[in-house]
Homo-oligomer: A and B are copies of this chain.
Amino acid sequence: MARRRLSLSLRWGDMDAYRHINNVEIVRLLEEARVRAFGLESPDGSAPMLATGMVVAKHTVEYLRPLDYRLAPVAVDLWVGRTGGASFEVDYELLEPDTDAVGELRTYVRASTVCVAYDFDEGRPRRLDDDERRRLALLADD
Report which A residues bind B (CB closer than 8 A): 8-9, 11-13, 15-19, 22-24, 27-28, 31-32, 35-36, 39-40, 43, 53, 55-63, 66, 69, 71, 120
B23 touches A24 (CB 8 A): no
One of B12, B32, B71 near A13 (C-beta < 8 A): B32
| Cα A53 to Cα B23 with chains together (Å) | 14
Residue of B nearest to A11 (CB): B32
| Cα A16 to Cα B11 with chains together (Å) | 11
Within the complex, the shortest CB–CB distance from A124 to chain B, in Å, comes to: 11
Most chain B Cβ neighbours within 10 Å, of A31, A53, A69: A31
Residue of B nearest to A40 (CB): B71
| Cα A46 to Cα B40 with chains together (Å) | 39
Q: Which residues of B contact A9 (CB under 8 A)?
A: 8-9
B58 touches A59 (CB 8 A): no
A12 touches B8 (CB 8 A): no
B11 touches A53 (CB 8 A): no
Q: Which residues of B contact A57 (CB under 8 A)?
A: 62-63
Known: A11-B32, A32-B12. A63 touches B71 (CB 8 A): no
| Cα A60 to Cα B23 with chains together (Å) | 13
